[in-house]
Structure 1
Amino acid sequence: MEYKITGCKPEKLFHFFEEISAIPRGSGNEKAISDYLVAYAKERGLWYYQDELFNVIIKKPGSKGAEEQKPVMLQGHIDMVCEKLEGVEHDFTKDGLNLLVEDGALTADGTTLGADNGIAVALMLMVMDDETLAHPPLECVFTSQEETGLFGAAGLDKSQISASTMINLDSEEEGIATVSCAGGLRIIASRKVEREEINGTQLQLSVSGLMGGHSGSDINKGRQNGNILMARLLYRLLEGTDGRVVSFVGGTKDNAIPRECKASLVYADSKEAENAKALAEELAEAFRDELAAYEKEFACNVTSQEAVVSALTREDSMTVVKAVYMAPNGVQKRNMTMEGFVVTSTNLGIVNLEENVMYINFSPRSSVVSLMEDLKLRIRLSMEEYGFDCEFSAEYPGWSYKEESAVREVFKDSYRDLFKDELKIEAIHAGLECGLFSDALPGIDAIAVGPTIQSCHTPDERLPLDSVERFYELLTDVLKRMANL
């Protein structure tokens, strides 16, 4: 293929990233990228393992003189969040990404870039491909369906892994090592609804241009949730009228803060419709004023037309809007002794009104088990108040801080020697697969690191190329030190 990234070192690392970016790999659609990894291993005569979830493990013996060292696991996930700007023509199930290099950073044209966690895949391929590197025996673990609930890591046969050290490559800020993370799960609330035919004026409403972001690492940044904002608008437009909800759809991933939401209402009374349209425009202006400081691209559009539509009953209309408006969302608990570190949060990531069922999807997180149980209960009770049933799934454990960690010390020493600075150590509110591997492999010494990735889970995702170069230098130096322990 014709590569777009040139002049970066090592050049082949970026070529690997371009190759995997040409392969569609949204969560649940990982067979092609999984088979690519198997072909890579076969071409090099390396041991490999592939399971029915399309997880892949590739093992490479230690370099000369390090054959008897303890194996080290490198780990990242092969799937990506598939988000695109409104109006962009891109089918994530069959189209590769259109990569762009702008101002020293890699982006994708109108879509997420998939550097989360495609850069981990490219890093592992490069490490195994470079025969000049000194390293202990390597066990490169490529997991599937991470973005939808860590399903690949949960289902992987951990007996295939013998490493006692784990380097997770899914951290997103250069110069910071993650040593603890939150646990989480998915909650889907659903409620049956009834419809009836209404002849009247239909108001079509859209919220767009919001920043969005990662529901863990960005939940504390004051970014507006498009679904909650739309529910606020709808409630005001329905209150004291005979308006009905026709449609209500927002968000595409429960772990991405929703940037866009669309809905429509219908009024049999033309005067009510006229008043509602005027109020909607007034509220849109008020929202713009509220959000001007931190949601600079926010837009709210209102149009109307005469139509005969299938709309929810008046009771169901008010109920589903109230359920979204009043649902728990955002930061729920902070640790003020740790500079306000987010302990517990939830993201109302998806609303989807189908013909006869309303769905509301949540992504709660917490690093404290008791607070997670409290949040699960509050979400369930909130939903039950409006007649919704809750389904809990894809729960994964948090990852606790380890007082003594040999791999952490190696990274700190290497970073200090290479860059004349101190490596920062932190806990994060996002979920990492380290918790699942730590649970399954007692005593494993784990750390999460990576180059800088900006605006994950959004079409603004950027990968600074110089950060990748520096991180590869750090990673290979750490492996060299571990080969000589």
Structure 2
Amino acid sequence: MTYKITGYQPERLFHFFEDISAIPRGSSNEKAVSDYLVAFAKERGLWYHQDALHNVIIKKPASAGAEDKPAVMLQGHLDMVCEKLTGVDHDFEKDGIDLIVKDGVLTANGTTLGGDNGAAVALMLAVLDDDTLAHPALECVFTTQEETGLTGAAGLDKSLISARTMINLDSEEEGIATVSCAGGMRFTMTRPITRHAASGKLLTIDVSGLLGGHSGTDINKERQNGIILLARLINRVLHETGAQLASFAGGSKDNAIPREVCAVLVCSDADIEKAQSIAEAMAADFAAELVPFEPDFKCTISIEDGAAEVLSEADAKAFISAICLAPNGVRRRNLKQDGFVVTSLNLGVARMDDTTASLVFAPRSSVASLQNYTTDCLYLLAETFGFDCDIAGAYPGWSFAEESPIRDTFIASYRELFDADLKIEAIHAGLECGLFSDALPGLDAIAVGPTIRGCHTPDEYLPLDSFERFYSLLTDVLSRLAKH
């Protein structure tokens, strides 16, 4: 294999990242990359365990002189969010990521990069592959389906893990260590719909160019939810004309703020001019509203003759009204902690087929009672508009520990290596640390990683010098743990 990333050390770190990037590894499609890890372990004579969910654990004995030190778990997830720009020809089920290296930055060609959490996978493989490093016994845990509800971590047999020190590698800001996170779930609302044939003018409205982002870490950045934006427009058109809703599709993941949304309305010849005028006026209003936050926002409106199966008036009204009234975004902040987000939710997916309409939300909170309040509101919304509800993928939060030896070790190492203080923070995103902390009493955990920007979007990028520096930090921490 000819590698694109050159000039950074250790070479094996970057080569491993390229190797796994060539393997499709969207959530629930991790078997191939899981088998790659098993082959890696076999080639090096390392103990491994692979389960039915394709989670993999690889263990490596301590280096010479560190045999009496407590084992350390390194952990990250194999799967990635699969998002691409409109018009990009890429099949995430079959195609590897087309990497681009430019000016010291790694990106992908029109798709998500998979640095979240491919960086962790490459880091663990590089550590396992290097017999010159000083380290305690290592238990490297590679989990699956993290991006769709921490499913792999929830189903992993944690009795196979002896370590009570955990270094999670799913944090995305160099110089910042995460020590607490929110719990979350996937909340799905579904409603039966009926359709009938209609013909006339097809009014197609496309929203695009929004920034999107991670529904946890980016929810506080005033990024527009495309689903709610388009529903506002359609609600006005439906109320002021006789237009009928034929389709509405937006978002692809509950944990990604939706960037692109499209809807089709069927209008009579008498209504089309007014419907178009309303749509264009509201699109202009949206552009003015969003200038500070969404500079690339676009709303494209087109008209053609045609026919479609449209929703009944009652079904269309219920679907659009539920979106317009849905709670979304930041719901509670902690003003004593610089406005840190405590509770939020994201309407990530809105879809319909011939017989069913659905909305998928990602509620998050580090306070259980506030999470309960959010779900109560969603149940009320569903009841009001005739939706059924389902909760899946619920996972616990991870609370702050007043004393943490692993945190202290990272602080000392970072200060010595970089002559700067490591920032300690809580995050609003979900991490697998909560599941492991629940299952492993006394677990001392921290979440760290190199800088990765634009996660869960095709704008995702990884500064290669940050990746290089973080590896030196990680190996220095392991060396310290081997001595103390």
**TM-score bracket, shorter-length normalisation:** over 0.9
Could you say which residue in structure 2 is the equivalent of 1:263? 263
Residue deviations 1:358-416, cap 9 Å, x none?
Answer: 00000000000000111111111112111111101110000000000000000000001
Q: State whether structure 2 residue 274 is matched by structure 1 residue 286.
A: no
Equivalent in the alignment of 2:461: 462
1:314 Cα deviation from its structure 2 partner: 1.3
Per-residue CA deviation, residues 318-349 of structure 1 (Å, 9 max, x unaligned), is: 11111111101000111111111000000000
Whichever residue aligns with residue 270 of structure 2, its letter is K
The offset of 1:307, in angstroms, is: 1.2
Residue 386 of structure 2 corresponds to which residue in structure 1?
387
User: CA separation in 1, counterparts of 2:25 and 2:319?
Assistant: 34
Name 1:411's counterpart in structure 2: 410
What is the correspondence of 1:154-303 to structure 2 with a 5 Å cutoff? 154-267=154-267, 269-303=268-302
Distance 1:187 1:77 in 2: 22
Distance in structure 1 (CA, Å) of the matches to 2:306 and 2:29: 39
- Tell me how far apart the structure 2 counterparts of residues 124 and 376 of structure 1 sit (CA, whole Å): 37
Contact 2:341 2:428 in 1 (8 A): yes
Question: 1:465 & 1:106 partners in 2: Cα distance?
Answer: 7
1:188-246 superposed Cα distances (whole Å, 9 cap, x missing partner):
10000111111211100100000000000000000000100010110011113221110
Instruction: State the AA in 2 paired with 1:288.
Output: A
The answer to whether the Cα contact below 8 Å between 1:242 and 1:314 also exists between their aligned partners in 2 is no
Q: Supply the RMSD in Å over aligned alpha carbons.
A: 0.6
Name the counterpart of 2:353.
354
1 CA distance for matches of 2:43 and 2:114?
25
For residue 143 of structure 1, what is the aligned residue in structure 2? 143
- Secondary structure of 2:40's partner? helix
Judge conservation of contact 2:24–2:92 (CA < 8 Å) in 1: yes
Please state how far the C-alpha of 1:439 moved relative to its aligned partner. 0.1
Q: Which amino acid aligns with 1:74?
A: L
> Distance between the aligned counterparts of 2:289 and 2:399, measured in 1?
39
Q: What CA distance in whole angstroms lies between the structure 2 residues aligned with 1:107 and 1:202?
A: 38
Gaps of 5+ in 1: none
Q: In the TM superposition, what whole-angstrom CA distance separates every residue of 1:28-68 from its partner, at most 9, and x where no partner exists?
A: 00000000000000000000000000000000000011122
- For residue 358 of structure 2, what is the amino acid of its counterpart? Y
Distance 2:439 2:446 in 1: 16
User: Is the Cα contact below 8 Å between 1:185 and 1:392 reproduced in 2?
Assistant: yes
CA contact (8 A) 2:136 2:482 kept: yes
* Deviates most, 247-256 or 379-388: 379-388
Q: Residues of 1 paired with 2:98 and 2:385: CA distance?
A: 43
* 1:315-326 paired onto structure 2 within 5 Å: 315-326=314-325
* Percent pairwise identity: 63
Q: Which runs of 5+ in 2 are unaligned?
A: none
Distance 1:317 1:45 in 2: 60
What is the CA–CA distance in structure 1 between the aligned matches of 2:389 and 2:381, rounded to whole Å?
A: 10
Work out the CA distance in 2 between the residues paired with 1:35 and 1:68.
32
Give the match's secondary structure for 1:254.
coil
SS in 1 for 2:107: strand
One-letter amino acid of the counterpart of residue 220, structure 1: N
Question: AA paired with 1:232?
Answer: R
SS at match of 2:147: coil
The code of the aligned residue for 1:122 comes to A
Equivalent pair of 2:111/2:457 in contact (CA under 8 Å): yes
Query: Per-residue deviation at 1:285?
Result: 1.4
Give the corresponding residue for 1:99. Answer: 99
- Rounded to whole Å, the distance in 1 between the matches of 2:472 and 2:205 is 50
CA shift, 1:302, in A, is: 0.5
> Given residue 281 of structure 1, which amino acid in structure 2 is its aligned partner?
E
Cα distance between partner residues in 2 of 1:354 and 1:336:
43
**Cα distance between partner residues in 2 of 1:102 and 1:329:** 37
Using the alignment, how far apart are the partners of 1:266 and 1:457 within structure 2? 33
Contact 1:243 1:314 in 2 (8 A): no
Q: How many matched pairs?
A: 484
Aligned AA (2:35): D
The residue that corresponds to 1:65 in the other structure is 65
Deviating beyond 6 angstroms after TM superposition, the runs of 4 or more aligned structure 1 residues are none
The residue type paired with residue 365 of structure 2 is S
After TM superposition, list the pairs within 5 Å mapping 1:113-128 onto structure 2: 113-128=113-128
Asked if 2 retains the 8 angstrom alpha-carbon contact of 1:27 and 1:147, the reply is yes
TM-score, L = length of structure 1: 0.99
Q: Deviations over 1:168-197 (max 9, x none)?
A: 000000000000000000001000011111
In the alignment, what sits opposite 1:396?
395
**3-state SS of paired residue (2:8):** coil
- The separation in 2 between residues aligned to 1:393 and 1:199, in whole angstroms, is 39
- Asked whether the equivalents of residues 213 and 455 of structure 2 are also in contact (C-alpha less than 8 Å), the reply is yes
| Counterpart secondary structure, 2:271 | helix
Instruction: Provide the C-alpha distance between the structure 2 equivalents of 1:325 and 1:85, rounded to a whole number of angstroms.
Output: 26
What's the counterpart of residue 48 of structure 1?
48
C-alpha distance in 2 between matches for 1:8 and 1:358? 49
Do the aligned residues in 2 keep the contact of 1:193 with 1:358 (CA within 8 Å)?
yes
- 8 Å Cα contact 2:241-2:274 kept in structure 1: no
SS of the aligned residue for 1:430 comes to coil
TM-score, scaled relative to structure 2 = 0.99
Tell me the residue number matched to 1:377: 376
Aligned equivalents of 1:463 and 1:358: distance in 2?
Answer: 37
Deviations 1:400-438 (A, max 9, x none): 000000000000000011111110000000000000000
Deviation at 1:11, TM superposition (A): 1.1
Letter in structure 1 aligned against 2:311: L
Which amino acid in 2 is paired with 1:430?
A
* Residue 75 (structure 1) aligns with: 75
- Deviation for aligned residue 1:353: 1.1
SS in 2 for 1:239: helix
Distance 1:396 1:294 in 2: 31
CA positional deviation for 1:294: 1.6
Does the residue aligned with 1:49 lie in a helix, a strand or coil? Answer: strand
1:23 aligns with 2:23: yes
Q: Which residue identity does 2:246 align to in structure 1?
A: V
Q: Who is 1:443 aligned against?
A: 442
- 1:481, 1:321 → 2: CA distance? 57
Helix, strand or coil for the counterpart of 1:270?
coil
- Tell me what 2:39 maps to: 39
1:26 and 1:388 map into 2 onto residues whose CA distance is 29
